Structure 1
């Protein structure tokens, strides 16, 4: 007599799949931990290059930076010292040289006057309206030049540079040298304040990395800034004005946040490319075996039995019976169980509370679920019979 075939556990595959998914989750956790550790390691070597730099920053390599002209100056033998603090700038100017102020808008009049008085030659790039009025009294904005124009003056640096596309223009009061005329103003103003020579020019469209190679911009920048052997390039900060303005979000964020977020973003993109679904047309594939409908029904029944949730199984039975009876009673497919119960009571001539009790009952045990299914079948059969009885001959 042959031994009976072993009974296979239908849920063994489910257990194996859950274990495989659990291992996959732990793999993602490990990958995230590695990324975080790598980000923490890179913070030890995080540089200020991750932070956004100001316009015409001497170390800025972007289109708005001024690293190109600074390198040219250094190649010409000019010492360029970059500063960001007012006290540091004043201390560096004790050795003499030219002061370049990139954007004086954060500075108060007193703070700007302090650094200007410490220098013999001052070149202000991208001056604000108050800074222009302070350094060149009675000067004001006078439009914007967008086409090439010649020097129109005897300033040696402008004569050597030739034509430029100037950008902002300023009115030139009496006694102030104006070059590159634009309407009623000039793109370059130069005046003296005691022993200090002051030059005002819109360097954002002339001396930044993006525009330096155009026309005579580089020659003009070297002539105005590189006249001395030493240049102190000052990028003002908010703190130099002495105001109590609150710090910005960028100042509050630690320097390691940007590289860490970048690594996480790259890891997310890589994971999406690796595990993401590829969208495309649906492809019909043949199953390796034919699964009968009865087997599917029995398999789901076992799952519901194992889950021990008769209420959930009752919801499925109720939804199917309600949809079928709604169609036979002339109700919309999404009719609620109470509506179907009321219509069935009207069709059968039965009490409403009885049909409602059948359709809205929530079983708590398996035996109760079997009784509930039996009563549903009886109610549905009665509705069908009532429909057939009333069909006209």
Structure 2
């Protein structure tokens, strides 16, 4: 029994071709995939490394790393009376002219509590306040965004800052004032990490970082000096840390920007950049048009019918009539003995109309309206134009 031998190479050729196609696709897309994966890894790493805020953060009685017990004890040792307040009533009762009120965790305060606190006669230190707290205490101060330049010089005349010198802020909000005030520890873009504005006989100080007050960062650079100069500037100090259960509705006073963690904001930004890069990558082939052989042979009649259907569906009688007149002129010009370039030359329109009128039974007005007139008003007019152009071409050929 005789059997036909398999093709040379057997099935290896199709498999090799499939692998080559897959390889080409992977090589063309791996750069974008790698960039997207890198952005996701960076965003996840930053979100994981960013320290979370515990319930006892900036609490003057908390010995944890983000607590403020060390600063409160140092102030007491230097003769400053420190009163810890857990609600607005206690803070207002302890506050008096010459007292410094340090207000932390402003996201736990309601709008009504913020309004009551803003009427105090004591000097106020706001530690990383929300936008609602800024509106209540210092409406001329606006938040500009976070920064991560850790150490900086004061660059201002505020005594509390000049005596402290360089301070490690780590992650810090920045602010801009639109009225009288003192801006300290400014970034290269002019936004300040520490702002102090006058409030009658007292002052309102906005501190964009919690680092100078926490147990963990107190010993770095001039953090302790800055914290003591701000909190211990008066004869006594009231440290307000609102309890969550007493101001549970205060969380609703935080804006969307306050509620979103920085890692989420960064991830959204990187995803937008990734989408933009993918769009640019997919649109990079903007070179000249390249002529390619059609995979199948398409009859010219089918092409004409297809384009005609598109014109009809779009009611594009203007483009259809222009195409009919342009084609008619292209065919008439050689028959009239004129150069082919004159078919689409507006300056040669009168010459073409005169030549056609001499070779047909129609006058120049009729011929001009047929070859260069306005678009038909309806489909019937378009069909009539086709008949007129065919008749002109027939008479010129027969003449």
Shorter chain as denominator, the TM-score bin is 0.3 to 0.5
Q: How does the TM-score come out when normalised to structure 2?
A: 0.46
Normalised TM-score (structure 1): 0.46
